[in-house]
């Protein structure tokens, strides 16, 4: 005997058994439905991209690509990366057709993304993400507000209530103006403060202040006050969201959102449940994603939300509905020698649009009936010697126990209606 292969999936990725797939479909369906209800169009691309796409933004990115992505060399000696995020891809696609697209463009996608990292709660090596973007809108405020409203609505469409989550909004332009007003001008200090602010809710106040004083000795008190009181303030985005009836939104000056392309509004949605207190979704405004491709600058606003964090949220708040899906009709041959007659009968029902499964197992009739009832089918049809001989069948409604008899065509019409 050869050495046994492991039944475990590859490190950090998941198998989707039917019960998991049902949840995954529910998440994807809800995402699509929400995005399309805002008039967004779906796009997709390959998981493979040339590595330059991710390295082009400087040495920092090169390191990121080398350490945290799946990158390999193909047989043609090209360096290839499994996409770790969707934004560069969609920027490439937009840049490629920017002359023919009717801006503003509203696009969404549900790509699978890969990152080479140690997995932990809420983070695995392959995940799916709803990505929504509005490109090239002149009215930036409206685009920002619509984007956040879409994110909000998707959670509502999962059955969430406002109290379950909170939307936190910040703005990089406003932060910069604030720092400048304090005389903090150099980029390095601003970057350090931003990075520290990102940990504001995680660390002790004293630790925060200690580090802050080291970076900006003269402005530490003012910054602390600004961050601490941010919830009591508002800006154009939060006011507009309030006007749309979205009230679980707050300014959060500690919000940082990494250090890449965001240039204006940034936002995250947090789970309010202490058991799952984490960010479920994040996004923001970027001025320029396309000049890398030699095209004019096209800005936009977008967000991404992951399937893993979404599922954690739904489980935490008990928002996963009963998703059991079985065939609507189970055909039960009384003996395996009638299985093919059963398949024949099933064909009639399937052609009428009734999902139909033939129980071709060797179990006894009583067991088959039990199973049909157990798996949640709506109807069952027994196919045995008498029925075949007379071409007349009995259809049983499992919900109320009633029976109807007739030809297969008649019964199929009845179930279909």
**Site residues (vs RNA, CB under 7 A):** 8, 11-12, 54, 64-65, 68-69, 84-85, 87, 115, 117-123, 195, 199, 202, 257-260, 282, 304, 334, 361-367, 369-370, 373-376, 380, 382, 384-387, 394, 396-399, 401
Which of 169, 163, 170, 68 has its CA nearest to residue 123? 68
Strand, coil or helix: 377: coil
Which of 81, 74, 72 has its CA nearest to residue 51? 81
Both tokens of residue 285?
């405004």
Min dist CB 201 to RNA, Å, is 10
Q: How far, in Å, CA of 175 to CA of 168, rounded?
A: 15
Min dist CB 160 to RNA, Å, is 21
Q: Which is nearer to RNA, 165 or 338 (CB)?
A: 338
Min dist CB 374 to RNA, Å, is 4
Q: Which is nearer to RNA, 2 or 243 (CB)?
A: 2
In the block, which residue shows the tokens 């050869």? 2
Q: Residue 412: is it exposed, middle or buried by C-beta count within 10 angstroms (0-12/13-18/19+)?
A: buried
Q: Which is nearer to RNA, 86 or 145 (CB)?
A: 86
The secondary structure element, H or E, covering residue 332 is strand 329-333
- Listing DSSP states for 81-97 in one string gives EE-S-SHHHHHHHHHHT
Q: Which is nearer to RNA, 274 or 294 (CB)?
A: 274
Min dist CB 257 to RNA, Å, is 5
Min dist CB 313 to RNA, Å, is 14
Q: Which is nearer to RNA, 199 or 297 (CB)?
A: 199
Min dist CB 183 to RNA, Å, is 26
Min dist CB 68 to RNA, Å, is 3
Q: Which is nearer to RNA, 119 or 414 (CB)?
A: 119
Instruction: Please give the angle made by the CA atoms of 374, 15 and 25, to the nearest 5 degrees.
Output: 65
Q: Which is nearer to RNA, 323 or 399 (CB)?
A: 399
Angle between helices 172-181 and 187-198 (to 10 degrees): 120
Yes or no: say if 279 and 158 are a contact pair by the CB < 8 Å rule. Answer: no
CA distances from 369 to 186, 349, 393 (A): 75, 19, 16
Q: Residue 253: is it exposed, middle or buried by C-beta count within 10 angstroms (0-12/13-18/19+)?
A: buried
Q: Which is nearer to RNA, 244 or 373 (CB)?
A: 373
Cα atoms found within 13 Å of the Cα of residue 280, Cβ hemisphere only? 24
Min dist CB 159 to RNA, Å, is 23
Beta strands in 274-323 (DSSP E): 279-286, 300-306
Min dist CB 97 to RNA, Å, is 22
Min dist CB 7 to RNA, Å, is 8
Q: How far, in Å, CA of 168 to CA of 148, rounded?
A: 10
Q: Which is nearer to RNA, 24 or 119 (CB)?
A: 119
Q: Which is nearer to RNA, 150 or 240 (CB)?
A: 150
Burial 353-365, CB ≥16 within 10 A → b, else e: ebebbbbbeeeee
Q: Which is nearer to RNA, 34 or 69 (CB)?
A: 69
Q: How far, in Å, CA of 307 to CA of 32, rounded?
A: 13
Q: What are phi and psi of 3, to 5 degrees?
A: -65, 140
């Amino acid at each position: 005997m050869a050495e046994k292969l492991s039944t475990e999936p590859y490190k950090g990725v998941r198998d989707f058994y039917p019960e998991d797939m049902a949840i995954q479909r529910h998440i994807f369906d809800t995402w699509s439905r929400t995005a399309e209800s805002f008039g967004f169009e779906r796009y997709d691309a390959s998981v493979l991209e040339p590595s330059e796409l991710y390295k082009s933004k400087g040495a920092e990115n090169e390191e990121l690509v080398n350490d945290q992505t799946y990158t390999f060399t193909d047989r043609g000696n090209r360096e290839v990366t499994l996409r770790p995020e969707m934004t560069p891809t969609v920027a490439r696609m937009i840049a490629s057709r920017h002359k023919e697209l009717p801006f503003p463009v509203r696009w969404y996608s549900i790509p699978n993304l890969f990152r080479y990292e140690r997995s932990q709660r809420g983070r695995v090596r392959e995940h799916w993400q709803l990505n929504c973007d509005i490109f090239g809108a002149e009215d930036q405020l409206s685009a920002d507000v619509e984007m956040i409203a879409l994110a909000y609505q998707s959670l509502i469409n999962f059955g969430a209530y406002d109290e379950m989550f909170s939307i936190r909004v910040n703005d990089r332009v406003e932060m910069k103006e604030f720092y400048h007003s304090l005389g903090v001008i150099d980029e390095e200090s601003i970057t350090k403060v931003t990075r520290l602010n990102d940990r504001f809710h995680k660390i002790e106040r004293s630790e925060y202040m200690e580090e802050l004083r080291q970076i900006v000795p003269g402005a530490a008190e003012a910054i602390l006050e600004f961050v601490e009181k941010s919830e009591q303030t508002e800006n154009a985005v939060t006011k507009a969201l309030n006007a749309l009836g979205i009230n679980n939104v707050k300014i959060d000056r500690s919000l940082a959102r990494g250090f890449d392309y965001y240039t204006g509004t940034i936002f995250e949605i947090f789970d309010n449940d202490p058991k799952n207190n984490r960010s479920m979704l994040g996004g923001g405004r970027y001025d320029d994603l396309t000049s890398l491709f030699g095209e004019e600058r096209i800005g936009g606003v977008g967000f991404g939300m992951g399937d893993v964090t979404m599922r954690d949220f739904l489980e935490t708040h008990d928002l996963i509905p009963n998703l059991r899906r079985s065939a609507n009709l189970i055909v039960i041959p009384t003996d395996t020698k009638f299985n093919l007659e059963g398949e024949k009968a099933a064909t009639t029902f399937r052609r009428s649009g009734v999902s139909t499964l033939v129980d071709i197992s060797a179990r006894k009739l009583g067991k088959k009936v039990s199973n049909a009832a157990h798996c949640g089918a709506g109807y069952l049809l027994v196919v045995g010697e008498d029925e075949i001989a007379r071409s007349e069948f009995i259809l049983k409604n499992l919900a109320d126990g009633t029976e109807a008899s007739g030809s297969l065509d008649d019964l199929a019409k009845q179930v279909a209606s």
